[in-house]
Amino acid sequence: MRTIIYLIRKEFIQIFRNKFISKAIFAVPIVQMLILVPAITFELKNANVVIIDKDLTPESRGLISKLAGSTFFRISGTTFSVKEAENMMLHNKCGIILHIPVEFGKNIGSGKPARLQASIDAINSSSAQLSWAYINGIIRDYNTEISIENINTTQISSFPMIDITNRYWYNEELNYKFYMLPGILVILVTAIGFLLAGLNMVREKEIGTIEQINVTPVRKHQFIIGKMVPFLIIGLIDLGIGLLIGWLAFSIPFEGSILLMFLGATIFLIAVLGLALFISTFSGSQQQYMFVAFFCMIIFILMSGIFTPYESMPQWAQDFNMINPVAYLMRINRMVMLKGSSISDISAELISLSVIAVSFTSLAVRRYRKTA
């Protein structure tokens, strides 16, 4: 035990002697939280719309006014030329073209179907789907208003009506920051634990100081534990800093137990530190380690469900996430922070993370070889 304590002390001294790492440890969580949380959002705001109004009737102007009054759209121009509107979309001056044809108002007044054409830039499929959903909702509301104006109110009251009351649970305001912050915290902890721990060990290889440890009677498991514990502590401190920034800067709610969240983060850090040290054992330089680590991080983060729904992924991707520690911590963070889940609710995630942590750490101990 004393040997491990001395190794941990040596690691802390070495970490804080490195000016880059010592600054990155505290600068990364502050910058990452303040920039990524408000910036990363899939919400649609101020989508630019070009109007082709060839009808010029009160009905067409009423629809345009309703569109302009929406918080989701911004009228960026009007024209009578389809070619000009398409050219504006080609040069990214608008994302939607709404074409109101001749006799739009006349058809509404006569009870005939009135047609519209909405052309949407679908380079970003998520934005295109949201744009269509919002503009379809506005047109549907406008259609309902016109129908009410043309039907006797006594007839309307005699129609059977269904009253629907909806309620959003756990994030009633649909605040995207509340949804993203738990995921950003996972990225933060992953970056600290996965990148810095592995780079620290590979750097020792490059400068030759690791050979001094190899000639001592220090055992392999003691060496690995001594490498993991400092970055485990630093990762948990950064998690606390991230939570504090989220609370002060974004008023993020926290419904569950903070100790339970830190328990999940501790097991997660053991898993990613074990993987980082395993990769560093066969990396001969920091460039080699960074290449492999970047490859693993991109896959783990993008497939974890932080940015896209886990349930929407193909089955093979969902199966892969069984060995993806980032996916487990992401679910733990969101369930604990937003739903107030207890340990029984996340027991499956904790057990799976524990198995991954033991497996990766065992691989690191087994793969590390003392050269002397």
Predicted confidence (pLDDT) per residue in 123-168, tens digit: 877 788 888 888 888 888 888 887 776 665 545 555 555 666 777 7
Residue the block writes with tokens 């800067």: 249
Report residue 372's pLDDT band, with 50, 70 and 90 as the boundaries: very low
Provide the mean pLDDT of the chain.
84
Segment 223-277, tens digit of pLDDT: 788 888 888 998 899 899 889 988 888 888 888 899 999 999 999 999 999 998 8
Backbone angles phi, psi at 26, to 5 degrees: -105, -25
Backbone angles phi, psi at 290, to 5 degrees: -60, -40
More confident residue, 244 or 24: 244
Give first-to-last CA distance, the chain, whole Å: 23
Report residue 343's pLDDT band, with 50, 70 and 90 as the boundaries: very high
Backbone angles phi, psi at 231, to 5 degrees: -75, -25
Segment 100-113, tens digit of pLDDT: 988 888 887 777 77
Quick one: which H or E segment has residue 293? Answer: helix 286-302
Strand pairing report for 117-120 and 47-53: unpaired
Tell me the C-alpha distance between 346 and 351, whole Å.
9
Whether the per-residue pLDDT at 295 is higher than 50: the answer is: yes
Segment 213-225, tens digit of pLDDT: 666 777 878 878 8
Q: Which ranges of 91-219 would DSSP assign to H, the alpha helix?
A: 104-110, 125-149, 153-158, 176-190, 197-207, 210-214
Tell me the C-alpha distance between 245 and 273, whole Å.
25
